[in-house]
C-alpha cells in the first residue's frame, strides 16, 4: 500500500467496514477482459479467515467466468464525503474501503447453499436467525463462496 498513513491495520476496524456495507463489487477476469459486478453479500470471519457469499441466477456471464477462472478481487467502501478545498486541486474525498483477493467457487451441495444463503440473509437483514430454503429455491439459485486470501483496509478521514 502506497499511503501507509491511510492504512487500517486493526482487523476489528476492517470487519466493521465489511459489516456496515451491503454491496460489494466483485471483479473477475474473462480471458484478458476485466468484468466487475456489484452484488449483495454475506460473510463469515472465523479463525482469521474471511469468507464472502454471493448468489445469482443459474446462467449468465458471472457464472460462465467463475466456471473458468476462480481468481477474484473485491472492493467494499463507505463513508464517502467530499473534502472541499480552496482550489480545484485541493479537493479530495473521504472514505473507508476494503480490497481483497481470493478464490471463488460455486457451492454445489444443498447444505453449503443453505449456509451461504443464511450468511447472506443475516448480513442483509441484520437478523441473526436461521432461514429455510425449499428444494425448488435451491435448484434455481447459484451460490458463490469466496475464501479471501488477503484483504487490506484504507481510510481518508474528513478534515
Per-residue model confidence (pLDDT) at position 3: 78
For 65, the 3-state DSSP assignment is: helix
Band of the pLDDT at 146, cuts 50, 70, 90? very high
Overall residue count recorded for the chain in this entry: 159
* 50-103: pLDDT as tens digits: 999 999 999 999 999 999 999 999 999 999 999 999 998 899 999 999 999 999
Per-residue model confidence (pLDDT) at position 1: 67
Band of the pLDDT at 145, cuts 50, 70, 90? very high
Residue with cell 452484488: 39
CATH number at residue 58: 2.30.110.10
* 90-143: pLDDT as tens digits: 999 999 999 999 999 999 999 999 999 999 999 999 998 999 999 998 999 999
What mean pLDDT do residues 144-157 have? 96
56 in Cβ contact with 142 (< 8 Å): yes
Per-residue model confidence (pLDDT) at position 159: 72
Number of structural domains the chain divides into = 1
* 18-37: pLDDT as tens digits: 999 999 999 999 988 999 99
Measure the CA–CA gap between 147 and 36, rounded to whole angstroms. 18
Q: Please tell me whether the overall predicted TM-score, pTM, comes out greater than 0.75 for this model.
A: yes
Per-residue model confidence (pLDDT) at position 6: 86
Domain extent at residue 103:
4-156
91 in Cβ contact with 82 (< 8 Å): yes
Amino acid at each position: 500500500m502506497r499511503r501507509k498513513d491511510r492504512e487500517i491495520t486493526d482487523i476489528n476496524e476492517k470487519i466493521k467496514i465489511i459489516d456496515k456495507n451491503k454491496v460489494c463489487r466483485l471483479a473477475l477476469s474473462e480471458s484478458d477482459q476485466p468484468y466487475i459486478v456489484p452484488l449483495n453479500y454475506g460473510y463469515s470471519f472465523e479463525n482469521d479467515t474471511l469468507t464472502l457469499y454471493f448468489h445469482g441466477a443459474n446462467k449468465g456471464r458471472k457464472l460462465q467466468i467463475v466456471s473458468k477462472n476462480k481468481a477474484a478481487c473485491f472492493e467494499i467502501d463507505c463513508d464517502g464525503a467530499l473534502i472541499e478545498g480552496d482550489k480545484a486541486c485541493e479537493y479530495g474525498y473521504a472514505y473507508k474501503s476494503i480490497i481483497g483477493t481470493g478464490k471463488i467457487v460455486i457451492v454445489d451441495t444443498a447444505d453449503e447453499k443453505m449456509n451461504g444463503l443464511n450468511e447472506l440473509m443475516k448480513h442483509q437483514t441484520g437478523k441473526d436467525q436461521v432461514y429455510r430454503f425449499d428444494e425448488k429455491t435451491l435448484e434455481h439459485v447459484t451460490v458463490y463462496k469466496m475464501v479471501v486470501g488477503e484483504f487490506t483496509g484504507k481510510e481518508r478521514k474528513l478534515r
